[in-house]
Amino acid sequence: MAPFESVPSVVDALAEHGYIADDRLATTVFLVTRLDKPMLVEGPAGVGKTELAKALAAITGRRLLRLQCYEGQDETKALYEWDYGKQLLYTQILREKISQVVADAPDLPTAVDRIGAQESVFFSERFLAQRPLLEAIRSPEPVVLLIDEVDRADEALEAVLLETLAEYQVSVPEVGTFIATQPPYVVLTSNNTRDLSAALKRRCLHLFLDYPAAARELEIVRSKRTGLPDALAAQLVDVVRGLRDLELRKAPSISETIDWARTLAVLGVTELSASVLSDTASVVVKYDKDLRKTVAALPRLVDPNVEVPERFLGTEHSTQHADRGHGHRHGPGEHSHDESGPGGQRLEDGEVDGRLVRAGKDEPGRHSEDYYSAQESARPQAPPSPPRKVSSDRGSRSFNANFGRRRAL
Ligand SMILES: Nc1ncnc2c1ncn2[C@@H]1O[C@H](COP(=O)(O)OP(=O)(O)OP(=O)(O)O)[C@@H](O)[C@H]1O
Ligand SMILES: [Mg+2]
Write down the mean pLDDT value for the chain: 80
* Range name among 227-241, 278-292, 342-356 with the lowest pLDDT average: 342-356
Q: In angstroms, rounded to a whole number, what is the distance separating the alpha carbons of residues 294 and 71?
A: 33
d(CA 148, ligand 2 centre) in Å: 7
97-117 tens-digit pLDDT? 888 888 888 888 988 888 888
Ligand 2 centroid – CA 196 distance (Å): 17
CA 162 to chain centre: 16
**pLDDT beyond 60 at 275:** yes
Residue 192 has pLDDT above 50, yes or no: yes
φ/ψ of residue 245, rounded to 5: -75, -15
Residue 297 one-letter amino acid: A
263-293 as b/e: b if 16+ CB within 10 A: bbbeeebeebebebbbebbebbbebeebbeb
Q: What is the CATH number of domain 7-79+131-208?
A: 3.40.50.300
pLDDT exceeds 80 at position 262: yes
- From the CB of residue 214, how many other CB atoms can be counted at a distance below 10 Å? 13
What are the pLDDT digits (tens) for 5-15?
999 999 999 99
The model's pTM = 0.74
pLDDT score at 115 = 85
Ligand 1 probe mutation, 254, 258, 259, 338, most atoms within 8 A of CB:
254
Question: Average pLDDT for residues 323-331, to the nearest whole number?
Answer: 34
Ligand 1 atom 16 nearest Cα: 48
- Beta bridge partners of residue 81, listed in sequence order: 129
User: Quick one: pLDDT at residue 314?
Assistant: 47
Measured by CA distance, the residue closest to atom 13 of ligand 1 is: 255
Confidence at residue 353, expressed as pLDDT on a 0 to 100 scale: 53
pLDDT at 2 over 60: yes
Displacement of CA 88 from its chain's centroid (Å): 35
162: exposed, middle or buried (Cβ count in 10 Å: 0-12, 13-18, 19+): buried
d(CA 321, CA 330): 9
pLDDT of residue 402 exceeding 70: no
Average pLDDT (194-203) is: 90
Q: Cβ < 6 Å from ligand 1: which residues?
A: 18-20, 45-51, 189, 191, 220, 254-255, 258
Confidence of residue 78 (pLDDT cuts 50, 70, 90): very high
* Atom 23 (ligand 1) nearest CA: 46
Of 70-84, 138-152, 302-316, 321-335, minimum mean pLDDT range: 321-335
Identify which ligand lies nearest to the alpha carbon of 251. Answer: 1
- Alpha-carbon Rg for the chain in angstroms: 26
Confidence band for 315, pLDDT divided at 50, 70 and 90: very low
DSSP for 337-368, please give it: -----TTPEE-TTS-EEHHHHHHHHSPPPS-S
- The predicted pLDDT at position 240 comes to 96
Q: Indicate the range of 23-32, 151-160, 291-300, 307-316 predicted with least confidence.
A: 307-316
Looking at residue 80, its pLDDT comes to: 93
Q: What is the pLDDT of residues 13-68, one digit of tens each?
A: 999 999 999 999 999 999 999 998 999 999 999 999 999 999 999 999 999 999 99
Select the more confidently predicted residue: 155 or 390: 155
Average pLDDT over residues 339-350: 44
pLDDT band, residue 260 (cuts 50/70/90)? very high
Percent of the chain with pLDDT over 70: 74
- If one counts every other C-beta atom within 10 angstroms of the C-beta of residue 188, the result is 29
Categorize the per-residue pLDDT at 360 as very low, low, confident or very high, splitting at 50, 70 and 90. Answer: low
- CA 74 – ligand 1 centroid, Å: 27
Give Cα 80 to chain centroid, integer Å: 21
Mean pLDDT computed over 242-261: 94
Q: From the CA of 105, how far away is ligand 2's center (Å)?
A: 58
Amino acid at 36: D
Residue 173 — very low, low, confident or very high, per pLDDT cuts 50/70/90? confident
Distance 253 CA to ligand 2 centre (A): 12
Q: What is the pLDDT of residue 307?
A: 63
Which residues line ion ligand 2, judged by CB < 5 Å? 50
Residue with the nearest Cα to atom 5 of ligand 1?
Answer: 19
**43: CA distance to ligand 2 center in Å?**
10
State the closest ligand 1 atom to the C-alpha of 51, by its place in the atom list counted from 1. Answer: 18
Check residue 195 and give its pLDDT. 87
At residue 311 the predicted structure's pLDDT band, cuts being 50, 70 and 90, is low
- The residue among 400 and 174 whose pLDDT is bigger is 174
Q: Which residues pair with 177 in a beta bridge?
A: 171
Q: Which residues contact 304 (CB under 8 A, 6 or more apart)?
A: none
* Ligand nearest to the Cα of 42, by number: 1
- The share of the chain scoring above pLDDT 90, in percent, equals 56
Mean pLDDT over 357-386 rounds to 46
**Widest CA span in the chain:** 97
Q: Is the pLDDT of residue 340 over 90?
A: no
**What is the 8-class DSSP label of residue 238?**
H
pLDDT digits (tens, 9 = 90+) for 112-147: 888 888 888 888 889 999 999 999 999 999 999 999
- Of 330, 323, 322, 342, the residue nearest 290 (C-alpha): 330
Least confident of 123-137, 337-351, 352-366: 337-351
